[in-house]
A = this chain, B = another copy of it.
Amino acid sequence: MMRRDRLFLAATLTAIFSADLYFILLPKLRSMGQGSGHFCSCGPNNLTLPRHGGLATPQLSNWTSLPPLYDTTSEPIDGGSKLGRLFAHPLYNIQIPALGPEERLLHAEQLMEYYRRKVSRWERHMKLYSEAAAVSNITVTEHKVTFDPDASWLKFHLGISRYALYSRDDLAVPQLLKEMQSMTVIGADYTQDEKALKGACDCTQVVKPSGHHLKLALKMQNFAKAMFKPMRQQRDEETPEDFFYFVDFQRHNAEIAAFHLDRILDFRRVPPVAGRLVNVTGEILQVTHNEDLRAVFFTSPANNTCFFAKCLYVCKTEYAVCGNPNLLEGSLSAYLPGLSIAPRISIPNPWIRSYTFTGREEWEVNPFFCDTIKQLYPYNSGNRLLNIIDMSIFDFLIGNMDRHHYEIFTKFGDEGFLLHLDNARGFGKHSQDEMSILAPLSQCCMIKRSTLLRLQLLTRPEYRLSDVMKESLEGDPLQPILTEPHLLALDRRLQKVLRVVQRCVRRLGEDEVITKDFIKSTVKPQTATDMGKVR
């Protein structure tokens, strides 16, 4: 009996050893052998990155002038930071001309006056509210509000120009991210969008069912305002394949990742977004003055504090989000300047989708759709169409199918940049590359040279998009923001974008496809109401 056991032991050990040798050790040795070889560049070969001289009048600024977003990336540039190296690259250091007052969104005095008015109105309101609350036996936490002329949100607002939401070396952005992550919240309320619905969501419309919208406006101690979107989905959950894009969840991590990607692409058209663990009791329930909002809070069977959407048609708790027991992950997006001092216009995307089960829009069936669009104001001159194509590349990379409108600041007219707001429906499926999002690029066969160069740069191993994204996202307190498959999808999609450009170049030639930036508009604008509604 003993001998059989020994034989069995010996046989088992041999088998385990062989399996280890075959499945673990040999592959390891093989990969070690490969590691000592040279990197193989995988970019498309006939679209090589030109020297800097190939750019439309690039003026190279100081290579090291760009501050890191977070302290974690502040290693020396020759150290391990790919992100630092990327931002130090000449392509990311093209100087724009000094800004005249008309090229800035706001004047400092105007904004300060606005801020002062807001603070004094808040103080009046607080006084009245505290008295009323005492009578109705409601306990509200009262935080002191500070008037801080050096607040980072003020600097962010003052830094908005006709070229971008912030400049590359704007120190206010990392400061604002930090403040959104930690500053005391003094107020919470529904957003204006939510209030406009008045809980009477129209269910005959399938567009934007607001049941999933639980976004709130949070006010910080120094009057910074941020939009809070709570976590609705785990990082590793994928959108079910049967979901239409318009009923998909909004993902807080997509909102965060989109800001970082937009910065890495050097668009700077997404307002700063930071992750934060919000205490739903202390930082929402106890600081809101809105009775409707207070009324949607409840304690779950697991003793967690939860709240649900205001929208009355949803039967409440199945839509709820819950803290653990009070802390809830979410994204905080910095508010843009109020519409009263910086009006924006919301314009339907020409490549809008049909928000119905069966409908199809013209661009989906007409391959020459872009020829029509190119004839139409404001797409018939200037950078507008190129900006739309930039936006489609951005949306393709994040997998966002929900870009029904875009916004611009009215002050800058048609030459202003497009705002890439509301990116929470990106990063839903890492395994699917929705090519239809690229329709503006593939149908118009145009791309800005500066965009293309940066995309090509990001395919290089030393600046690989997934690597710089990962590094950039590591600074967020809610890291990891994206799972590995989502990061790798970015590299794969980037290749697909370049392949579309390559096909266009092969068909039409480089001069037709790759367009110089900063083209001046030659057509007079029509009235704003032709284009969309002023917000």
Contact = CB atoms under 8 A, between A and B. Distances in A.
Interface of A: 9, 12-13, 16-17, 20-21, 24-25, 28-29, 201, 203-204, 206, 209, 211-212, 241-245, 247, 298-302, 304, 306, 312-318, 320, 322, 357-358
Contact of A206 (B28, B211, B317, B357): B317
Given A16-B24, A298-B358, A314-B314, A306 B243 contact: no
Q: Which one of A206, A242, A243, A302 has the greatest number of beta carbons of chain B within 10 Å?
A: A242
A24 B313 CA distance: 56
Contact of A13 (B12, B17, B301, B322): B17
Contact of A242 (B209, B211, B302, B313): B302
The 5 closest A-B pairs by CB, nearest first: A209-B315, A242-B300, A241-B302, A313-B313, A298-B357
A212 B242 contact: no
A226 to B, nearest CB: 25
B318 A243 contact: yes
Contacts of A318: 209, 211-212, 243, 247
A30 to B, nearest CB: 13
A274 to B, nearest CB: 26
A320 B358 CA distance: 16
* Total copies of the chain: 2
Nearest to A25: B12
A201 B287 CA distance: 34
Given A242-B301, A247-B318, 20 more contacts: A9-B29, A12-B28, A13-B17, A17-B17, A20-B20, A201-B315, A203-B314, A203-B315, A203-B316, A206-B317, A211-B315, A241-B301, A242-B300, A242-B304, A242-B322, A244-B301, A247-B316, A298-B358, A299-B358, A313-B314
Contacts of A298: 357-358
Contacts of A12: 25, 28
Contacts of A317: 206, 243-244, 247, 357
A321 B485 CA distance: 27
A161 B204 CA distance: 48
A31 to B, nearest CB: 14
Q: Which one of A9, A203, A306 has the greatest number of beta carbons of chain B within 10 Å?
A: A203
A343 B312 CA distance: 37
Contacts of A242: 300-302, 304, 306, 320, 322
A204 B295 CA distance: 13
A395 B247 CA distance: 35
A25 B28 CA distance: 23
A404 B318 CA distance: 20
A245 B357 CA distance: 32
Contacts of A300: 241-244
A313 B243 contact: no
A302 B306 CA distance: 33
6 contacts: A20-B20, A209-B316, A241-B301, A242-B306, A242-B322, A314-B315
Nearest to A28: B12
